[in-house]
Amino acid sequence: MRILVIDDDRFWARSMEYYLKEYGFTVSLISKFADVNYDNIKLKFDVVVLDLMLRRPDDSEIPEDWDTGEYIYTEIKKNTPDKRIIIVTAVDRPKLESRFKVDGTDLLIKPLDPSFKDLIECIKK
């Protein structure tokens, strides 16, 4: 299974990558909004693991009242509605659901288990 991790915390993302690879997944990392390519996501990845609280680019087309991860989530779902997205964030579910629709999207609240067992179980289901 091919997994794309979008998270601007390099240590967190590298740790996640290490454990996911230990379980046999193929993993790619993106840490900057500018590196997100929706065509690649559509064609190359089975699952996207997305942090919502990414750094906001200075010259961004993202609406002022949105977080960067919200924008990425919305664009992925617009271009590939059936793409599986797992949101990993410190934002709690009620607050998240009040901001945008996440029906059918898996949500894991940070901090996760240091060995990422909860994420791995979520990916495998």
Q: What is the pLDDT of residues 105-114, one digit of tens each?
A: 888 888 888 8
In this structure, are residues 54 and 9 in contact, taking their beta carbons and an 8 Å threshold? Answer: no
Q: Describe the chain by its helix, strand, coil percentages, rounded to 5.
A: 40, 20, 40
This prediction's pTM: 0.88
SS3 49: strand
The mean of the pLDDT values for the chain is: 86
Section 80-107 average pLDDT: 76
What backbone phi and psi angles, to 5 degrees, belong to 75? -65, -40
**Rounded-to-integer distance, Cα 51 and Cα 87, Å:** 6
CATH of the domain at 113: 3.40.50.2300
pLDDT value for 57 = 73
Total domains in the chain come to 1
Say which amino acid occupies 39.
Answer: D
- Domain residues for 52? 2-124
